[in-house]
Amino acid sequence: MRFYGPGVRAAFTAVAIAVLAAGCAGPQGSSPASFVSSPQGIASVESAASVQEQIDNGSLIDPCHNLTFGQARCMSLGLRNTAAAPQAKGADASVRGFGPADLQAAYNIVNTAKNNPGGTVAVIEAGGNPKLESDLKVYRKQFGLPPCTSVNKCLRILNQRGSKGPLPPVENSWLAEQSLDVDMVSANCPNCKIVVIQCSTNLYTGIQAASRLTPAPVAISNSWGGAEYPNQYRADLSIFNHPGVAITASTGDHGYSAGLIFPSTSPNVTAIGGTSLFKATNSRGYTESVWAGAGSGCSSYSKTPKWQKATEQQLGGCSNKLAADVSYIGNPNTGVAVYESTPGDGLPPGWQVWGGTSTGAPAIAAIYALAGDASKFKIPAEKAWENTGDLNDITSGSNGTCSPDYLCTGEVGYDGPTGWGTPNGLGAF
């Protein structure tokens, strides 16, 4: 099945998702994993409807909005008016969006990010991006990060078979996604090695290629997803079943009413929700609330992993896997700096500001690699559920209306949009 193409404009409403979910199943329920080419000052609480309104009025760019029925998509949103975004620490005034120094400080990883050797992080992408390496060089130089190139063997760019070539043609909608992913790995784990798997037909094959890498990656990032489907358990068993590897997946960018997406509902992955991040005068220096666009809820098909059962029984309202597990900055209005020089993603080439739950998948994958502890757990997400005190609990904001409230509203303890919270050091990873 194709991943997406230059077709239908997807309005991510509950009705649309219901139609997509019904239509995408195909014979016996098909996989959604293939595709073809073709401000500072913002209110801390916004409605999920306003996220779609910002997309509709052009304030936010949704590069992966073109879908065929039931298809997965990248989870990145670009900010058109970058002057409204926070200025990046350690960069000139022209660079907006949070940079590595901001993110490391906000999530309490400054010293470890500087000193830890890290591990290998694989990011799964659609299509090619011929300037990805040179753009990464600009990003890392701007923020004083060590070089990460193919020459020093820090960066590898491979096709979906795990080979150096041929690489796939450019997929415009994923240009910024790829830059966002490698920039977020760099920002959170400057010494990590990065493997980019550029897929030409099927993202699942990219995950399999990443799992065969030598040395094996500590983490595999998936900044994409699609409507759940009845036979997704087959992918749970065959594609995402890699014990000891931290597989991260974005929960979606259109709020609770849009429904959960797969693979974030796989019991084998760490599902990454989204927050709005603001500078503050408190001891942390930052504050966070639920980002209205973050996906959350209870899976329609994936069973509850054992470490979630006690929480589900206590809170009620769900008998399958909950998402998110943890979260990271997602609101593009309080987004991150990205350098992308190839035209085609909807924003002018150069320094851009991006958000979406795509931000969190590679960032949390990098934090897993920074911690270097994922292999001690069959499913690394379990560690976060056992070490909730090492996360910033997000207790305000919502991504919609639901019952019970915790599935869409920030609360003390677990809630759907942000899971147990955002990183506060490495203890949960």
> What is the tens place of the pLDDT at every residue in 159-177?
999 999 999 999 999 999 9
What is the average per-residue pLDDT within 404-427? 98
The pLDDT confidence band at residue 376, using thresholds 50, 70 and 90, is: confident
Distance (Å, rounded) from C-alpha 308 to C-alpha 315? Answer: 11
- Is the confidence at residue 147, as pLDDT, over 60? yes
Flag whether pLDDT at 1 surpasses 90: no
pLDDT (mean) for 9-17 = 30
- E strand or H helix at 138: helix 132-142
What size, in residues, is the chain?
429
Q: What is the pLDDT of residue 46?
A: 65
Across residues 365-390, what is the average pLDDT? Answer: 94
**Which of 18-22, 28-32, 132-136 is the least confident region?**
18-22
Q: How far is CA 350 from CA 337, 344, 363, 405, in A?
A: 10, 12, 21, 41
In sequence order, the 6+-apart residues with CB closer than 8 A to the CB of 198 are 125, 126, 127, 128, 129, 157, 158, 159, 160, 167, 168, 178, 206
| pLDDT mean over 74-81 | 96
Q: What percent of the chain has pLDDT over 70?
A: 87
38: pLDDT confidence band, cut at 50, 70 and 90?
Answer: very low
pLDDT value at 238 more than 70 = yes
Residues 306-334: what's their mean pLDDT?
A: 96
Mean pLDDT of the chain: 89
User: Where does the pLDDT of residue 10 fall: very low under 50, low under 70, confident under 90, or very high at 90 and above?
Assistant: very low
pLDDT of 417 over the 60 cut: yes
- Taking a C-beta distance cutoff of 8 angstroms, is the pair 393, 372 a contact? no
Model confidence at 94, in pLDDT bands (50, 70, 90)?
confident
* pLDDT over threshold 60, residue 239: yes
Which one has a higher pLDDT value, 64 or 181? 181
Where is pLDDT greater, at 152 or 93? 152
